Structure 1
């Protein structure tokens, strides 16, 4: 089961300022701010939802196709993704813009100053998903992830036109769509993913009730973090799949992307939804422990052990043969 992942591609540059931002602000000069902070550390991390999800699918051998937009500085990032099993042939490389990036400075009190540069993401709607499908073959599913809003709508429409099932994962980008666009994005999706914070957005943006939405999508999966996962369908109670516990959380960023990767990989085995959700929760836990969204490793024995600790011996034995090739 090959999956095409459409979504954002970016790099993050987090820095740490050892002092307090508040001490640098002069109240009388609040209308003419001019500040400079000497940071202690700088890291460059690969990220963004499209690349993160494709990376996770690549780790479990799913040969995903990534469709998005990046800049001329994408060469190293692209090599990294390909080395981890991602087909980047559908990534549009801009000739004039840099890959999207986020620069975040955090002070000693965890206050943050963040600057987001969209860069090549502005060209995401020009990504040729239809051409990529014609060239590489029709995938079993298109995951329409957060990206330039026009690109999300266009990729969803392309998938429907080609008869390819869609998993809608719009994240907070849904807030930037008008009612018609939001309805076009969600209506007919086989899967809808939201976290707990985003769960009110589909109804608010479409004007449909939760019951209406459940009648228009196949399964709506809400991921409320440590509380676990809840897959809901029309006319049926929504089960709660507990999260896989972790020893410590170093960085929560990217756990949702890893869940989607594991869950979608699990669907290729055609198990019950709850079993696929368990498989999604295991790699999500591995992302929480290191710092960075693509710094974790997926090892079959480790995933099996995590599933056994969380869900029991029988649950682990079911997935163990499937994970043997990871």
Structure 2
């Protein structure tokens, strides 16, 4: 099964300030703030939802296609992804913009000051799937992950027009969408990914009932953190898949992306959705136990992927 992942590519620049931001804020000067903080630490991490999902698929032995936009500064990141099994051939390189960047400073109270630069991501709307994914006969599923909103809408429309099955993963971009846009991204998806909060927001935006959403998608996968995952389909009982316990919560960033990668790797092996979700939970826990979205140990998920199917699952 060949999976194409559309969405964001980004780098995260994370800094630590040992003091407290509030100590530098003057109540009578808040209308003209001009502050500079001397940070103690800087971590530069690879990120972006599409890149994270593609990395996880590569770690589990697939060769996903990454369909996204990046800047001329993407070369080193490109080498990393290729070395981990990702086909970056369809990535569009901007001639004028840097790769999307998240810059964040965290103080001693865990307050944060952050800026997100969309950069080359804004050019993802210029990517034509029919060209980027040629020949289309090789593509079994397209993941529509968070990205430039116009790109998400375009790629969803293209999938319908080209007859390509797609997975809808609007995630954090739901907050930027209108009701009609949210409906457009979801309608007809083979798989719909949300967390618990996003599920509620999706219902509010679309003005659809849960049953109406299920009438429009194949399988709705909702993650609940430590409480596991629920799988819903029209005219079928809801299924619950427990999370994989952990004793070390190092970094929650990218855990949802790792889950999606594990789930999709299971689907690529033609597993039932519940078993695929179990694999996703294994990879999600590996990501939770590691700092950085693309540095986790995937060996437990790899073993699970190769293990014989439990009785009654196939």
Question: TM-score normalised to the size of structure 2?
Answer: 0.95
CA RMSD, Structure 1 to Structure 2 (Å):
1.7
Match of 1:232 in 2: 232
Larger deviation: 184-193 or 229-238? 229-238
Is the 8 Å Cα contact of residues 228 and 242 (structure 1) preserved in structure 2? yes
Report what 2:38 is aligned to. Answer: 38
CA distance in 2, matches of 1:303, 1:88: 23
Deviation at 1:239, TM superposition (A): 1.4
| Matched residue SS, 2:134 | helix
Correspondence for 2:50: 50
TM-superposition CA deviations, 1:62-106 (whole Å, max 9, x none): 100000111111111111111101111111110000100101100
1:172 counterpart residue number? 172
Question: Aligned residue for 1:202?
Answer: 202
Q: Does 1:109 align with 2:109?
A: yes
Shifted more, 267-276 versus 251-260: the winner is 267-276
Cα distance in 1, alignment partners of residues 169 and 273 from structure 2: 17
- What residue in structure 2 maps to residue 184 of structure 1? 184
* SS of residue paired to 1:253: coil
TM-score by length of 1: 0.91
Q: CA deviation at 1:237?
A: 2.4
Counterparts of 1:213 and 1:143 in 2: how far apart (Å)? 18
CA deviations over 1:8-58 (Å, ceiling 9, x no partner): 000000000011111111112111111111100001100011100001011
Output one character per residue of 1:201-244: Cα deviation in whole Å (capped at 9) or x when no partner: 22222221111001110110000111101011112221111001
Query: Residues 256-278 of structure 1, C-alpha deviation per residue, up to 9 Å, x if partnerless?
Result: 10111110110122222111111
Q: Distance in 2 between matches of 1:2 and 1:226?
A: 30
**Structure 1: tracts of 5 or more residues without a match:** 308-314, 320-326
Mapped partners of 1:69, 1:270: distance in 2: 30
1:276 counterpart residue number: 276
Aligned to 1:318: 309
C-alpha displacement at 1:304, in angstroms? 6.8
Q: Could you tell me how far 1:135 is from its partner in structure 2?
A: 4.2
2:301 maps to what in 1? 303
How far has the Cα of 1:127 moved from its partner? Answer: 1.6
The corresponding residue for 2:88 is: 88
Match of 2:62 in 1: 62
- Note the C-alpha offset of 1:286: 0.6
